[in-house]
Amino acid sequence: MTQVSIQTGDFDTATELAALENCGGGGVASFTGVVRGDDGLIALELQHYPAMTLAQVERIVEDAMTRWPLLGVRVIHRFGRLEPGDRIVFVGTASRHRTAALESCAFLIDWLKSHAPFWKKEHFSDGEARWVDARAEDEAKARDWLS
């Protein structure tokens, strides 16, 4: 089972985890990203490249499937306006082996950060707004998987 969703709406992590547990692998790993309310942040606006996003995330998932023996991969990435405490992203992997589940989950979230066409804009309580700069360490983490 592999499924990728790019959506504005929320998702239920318990439902997603249960589906992965039913893949028969015996091991499920997941990562859920949640909007942080640091420095008076009131909203996060996520823009994406609709014609590219789904295909690009599916390419990243296929890459993970060739690297690890996976029985299930679920990726959900939201876009639009989100508030502190809202879930942004979910990555879940199922495998017979815990190492494969854990490593592929980490790989997927690292690659989503640096290879999926999303851009975040932060809105603050004082009316300021700014586009988030890409972090060199995120690029470096993604590159580490190539070595």
Partner 1 sequence: MAPLNILYFAWVREAIGRDEEQVERPSADMPIADLIAMLAARGGGYAQALGDPDRLRAALDQHFVPLDTPIGTARELAIFPPVTGG
Site residues (vs partner 1, CB under 8 A):
33, 46-49, 51-52, 55-56, 77, 88-89, 109, 112-121, 131-134, 138-139
By C-beta, is 64 or 88 nearer to partner 1? Answer: 88
By C-beta, is 94 or 109 nearer to partner 1? Answer: 109
By C-beta, is 42 or 54 nearer to partner 1? Answer: 54
DSSP 133: P
Structure tokens given for 103: 């490593």
Burial group, residue 40, by CB count within 10 angstroms (0-12, 13-18, 19+): exposed
Minimum separation from the CB atom of position 117 to partner 1 (A):
6
CB 45 within 8 A of CB 35: no
Minimum separation from the CB atom of position 114 to partner 1 (A):
7
For the chain, how far is it from start to end, CA to CA, in angstroms? 28
By C-beta, is 17 or 109 nearer to partner 1? Answer: 109
Query: d(Cα 107, Cα 36) in Å, to the nearest integer?
Result: 22
